């Protein structure tokens, strides 16, 4: 991917998060219970990237919205006050999928995640290959990676709003 060509508006719209690699301390124990997330990315009038996500957890549906500020580049965002130190697109074909890297800080835990965003309910072979390549290249072990379980009722309900 030529990162100089990526513009924030290319990430806008609804997505499914179909796979995740994470170094969060509880991820390996919980990864088999994680379901597909619905994500909608928009741009606020003051050029902040707004990311709304919906996922099902053990105690029901959870929605969250974060606003990210542009860093020194067109394709890197952050919001340190919310614990988001780095949010960037690692790879994309600009229309079907994107591989997103996030560095997070919660309390005394700092960790990275890589997520596969897809415009469709099933990831293409090309998208899964790129996700795997980036995850392995960044040192994620196989047990730190997961394809998420489908929970389409939640994803469709939340993504379409």
Euclidean distance between CA atoms 14 and 134, whole angstroms? 22
Segments of the chain with pLDDT less than 50: 1-4, 152, 154-161
Q: What is the pLDDT of residue 75?
A: 76
pTM given for the model:
0.86
| Domains of the chain listed by start with CATH number | 3-159 (2.40.128.20)
Structure tokens at 133: 């390549």
Q: What is the pLDDT of residue 57?
A: 67
Euclidean distance between CA atoms 16 and 122, whole angstroms? 9
Question: For residues 98, 104, 110 and 115, what is the CA-based torsion angle, rounded to 10 degrees?
Answer: -20
Q: What is the pLDDT of residue 4?
A: 44
Euclidean distance between CA atoms 117 and 127, whole angstroms? 9
Q: What is the pLDDT of residue 15?
A: 96
Reduce the DSSP state of residue 96 to 3 states and report it: coil
Ranges of beta strands (E only) in the chain are 13-22, 37-43, 49-57, 60-70, 76-79, 84-92, 97-106, 109-118, 145-147
Question: For residues 155, 31, 22 and 18, what is the CA-based torsion angle, rounded to 10 degrees?
Answer: -30
The answer to whether 150 touches 47, Cβ cutoff 8 Å, is no
Q: What is the pLDDT of residue 155?
A: 45
């Amino acid at each position: 991917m030529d990162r100089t060509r990526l513009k924030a508006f290319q990430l806008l719209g609804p997505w499914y998060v179909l796979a995740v690699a994470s170094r969060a301390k509880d991820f390996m124990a919980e990864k088999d219970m994680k379901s597909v997330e619905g994500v909608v990315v928009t741009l606020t009038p003051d050029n902040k990237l707004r990311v709304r996500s919906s996922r099902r957890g053990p105690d029901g549906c959870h929605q969250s919205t974060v606003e990210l500020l542009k860093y020194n580049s067109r394709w890197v965002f952050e919001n340190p006050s919310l614990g988001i130190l780095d949010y960037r697109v690692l790879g994309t074909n600009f229309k079907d999928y994107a591989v997103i890297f996030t560095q997070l800080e919660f309390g005394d835990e700092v960790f990275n995640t890589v997520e596969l965003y897809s415009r469709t309910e099933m990831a293409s072979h090309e998208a899964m290959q790129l996700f795997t390549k980036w995850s392995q290249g960044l040192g994620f072990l196989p047990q730190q990676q997961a394809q998420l379980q489908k929970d389409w009722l939640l994803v469709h309900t939340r993504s379409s709003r």
